[in-house]
Amino acid sequence: VSGADDARARPIGVFDSGVGGLTVLRSLRRALPGDDFIYLGDTARLPYGTKSAATVQRYSLQCAAALTARDIRALVVACNTASASALAALRLEYPQLPVIGVIEPGAEAAVAASVRQHIAVIATEGTIAGGAYQAAIRRRNPATRVEAQACALFVALAEEGWTQGPVVEAIARRYLDPLFGEPGDDAGGTLRFRGAQPQGAPDTLVLGCTHFPALKAAIQAVLPPSVIVVDSAATTAAAVLQQLGPSNRGAPVGRIRWLATDNAARFARVGSTFFGELLDPAAVEIIDL
Ligand code: DGL
């Protein structure tokens, strides 16, 4: 086995602040079914989205150190907040390791989907404040109009497993009214649209946080039906497949190793809904970073 062949047999490391990155892992596994993965959820320090860029960068470097110590062939940053604040630092720290974030693939998906090149991005405070999404979209098409809105409570709702119902929809309205509602609508009020496609409103909404796909149905319920909702899970998986190619281990189904920094039972319980499969708390190893 040559060195290059050997490298392709190693697992792919994936991390997020918690269980949100499991929406990305789900797509990765579909794209690379024979690959092994190590998933790390930094559940002890969640959320990242309300913390400063410097702190998120420090945490991300620690997550990456834990994964590289377990001999990975690539690192997927399955968290928009960490991708926004730490991607450059991670690439600098590990120049030999392919490091793939979720923002560029998310921007790619949005620009491809938007007919009128008018895109709304919802994400954590940290991601919106850093402007990485806005920049990634404009790099692809400088004429694109980009609206951005931080939706911090969505992370808490998703982590709590509150993914649908009137409370979630009321909060979604409060956040999305200013982007998609009629001018003059009071935030939190009932959305009224000028027909199916409100004039001047974005035609595409990017779920710029890996926790948000869990709330997709509730978000869509308060949007005009014509708005296209995209997330970066599938496009990130496609980017990883394109950049790395599949494992050469020849196994039909790869293994997943689970790491978290706190509370295996909660990680498995909430994570199951994000991953779409039942996770066994006994299989989650708790580590210190
Ligand atoms: N899942 C993370 C993201 O994609 C954010 C969650 C958090 O705030 O920790 O941005």
- Residue among 15, 17, 52 to mutate when testing ligand 1 (max atoms within 8 A of CB): 17
Nearest of 131, 136, 130, 128 to residue 57 by alpha carbon:
130
More confident residue, 182 or 167: 167
Index of the ligand 1 atom closest to the CA of residue 210: 4
pLDDT over 50 at 190, yes or no: no
CA dihedral defined by 23, 29, 31, 35, rounded to 10 degrees? 140
Does the N-terminal peptide bond of residue 225 adopt cis geometry, omega within 30 degrees of 0? no
Contact predicate 85/130, CB 8 Å: yes
The pLDDT value given to residue 19: 94
What's the pLDDT band for 284 if we cut at 50, 70, 90?
A: very high
pLDDT over 90 at 105, yes or no: yes
- Residues listed for the chain: 289
55-64 pLDDT, tens digit each? 999 999 999 9
pTM: 0.90
The pLDDT value given to residue 95: 97
In the chain, what percentage of residues exceed pLDDT 90?
A: 81
Q: Rounded to an integer, what distance in angstroms lies between the CA atom of residue 77 and that of residue 118?
A: 27
In the chain, what percentage of residues exceed pLDDT 70?
A: 91
Cβ 83 under 6 angstroms from ligand 1? no
Cβ 49 under 6 angstroms from ligand 1? yes
Judged by average pLDDT, the poorest of 36-50, 195-209, 250-264 is: 195-209
124-164 pLDDT, tens digit each? 999 999 999 999 999 999 999 999 999 999 999 998 889 99
Cβ 16 under 6 angstroms from ligand 1? yes
Contact predicate 228/252, CB 8 Å: no
By CB atoms closer than 10 A (0-12, 13-18, 19+), residue 196 is exposed
Span 167-180, average pLDDT: 94
Q: What strands, in cross-sheet order, belong to the sheet with 145-150?
A: 145-150, 118-123, 204-207, 228-231
pLDDT over 60 at 189, yes or no: no
The pLDDT value given to residue 200: 82
Kindly report the average pLDDT of the chain as a whole number.
90
* 7 residue type, one letter: A
The pLDDT value given to residue 184: 46
More confident residue, 221 or 186: 221
The pLDDT value given to residue 3: 60
Q: Which residues participate in catalysis according to the annotation?
A: 79, 209
3-state helix, strand, coil in the chain (%, to 5): 45, 15, 40
What is the Å distance from ligand 1's center to 161 Cα? 15
Index of the ligand 1 atom closest to the CA of residue 16: 1
What is the Å distance from ligand 1's center to 148 Cα? 16
Q: What strands, in cross-sheet order, belong to the sheet with 74-77?
A: 99-100, 74-77, 12-16, 37-41, 256-260, 284-286
